[in-house]
Amino acid sequence: MKTIRRVSQGGDILLNNGLSPKIGVAAVTKRNLKPEELIKKGIGSFQVRGEAIRLSEEPNHIPIGLLRDAVVKRPIEPGQILTFDDVEIEESTALRAWRASCAEATI
């Protein structure tokens, strides 16, 4: 929030992944996850951790920052990178922005 506030007030950007991002932070499971289990939040949870990945190598990954009130669809083992096929997430401004940035990156 501090960075967003600073940038909105004309300050510098903390990190810039460019107009065509190449690196992301994927959600990786810390433990077994069961179907119907709720992932209340990604960042700071006991269920997942973030790991830097090349977007080209994991195009269907879920960025850890998008995990909020996500419901697990199928059994997931520890160490697995979560994909959009693994969980149900609610539509949000952040999800729409992510989809738009991915579409632009493939153009």
Query: Is 2's pLDDT higher than 60?
Result: yes
Distance between CA 77 and CA 30 in Å, rounded?
8
Give the model's pLDDT for residue 60: 92
Q: Is 67 exposed, middle or buried (0-12, 13-18, 19+ CB in 10 A)?
A: buried
Give the model's pLDDT for residue 106: 47
Domain regions of the chain by residue span: 17-105
Distance between CA 37 and CA 49 in Å, rounded?
16
Give the model's pLDDT for residue 49: 97
Percent of the chain whose pLDDT exceeds 70: 89
Give the model's pLDDT for residue 103: 61
Task: Name the pairing type of β-strands 48-54 and 68-72.
Answer: unpaired
Distance between CA 74 and CA 69 in Å, rounded?
16
**Nearest CA among 37, 34, 33, 39 for reference residue 79:** 33
Residue-wise pLDDT tens digits, 41-73? 999 999 999 999 998 999 999 999 999 999 999
Query: Is 15's pLDDT higher than 80?
Result: no
Residues 27-38 have a mean pLDDT of: 97
How big is the CA angle at 4 (ends 3 and 9), to the nearest 5 degrees? 95
pTM of the model: 0.79
CATH topology of domain 17-105: Type Iii Antifreeze Protein Isoform Hplc 12 (3.90.1210)
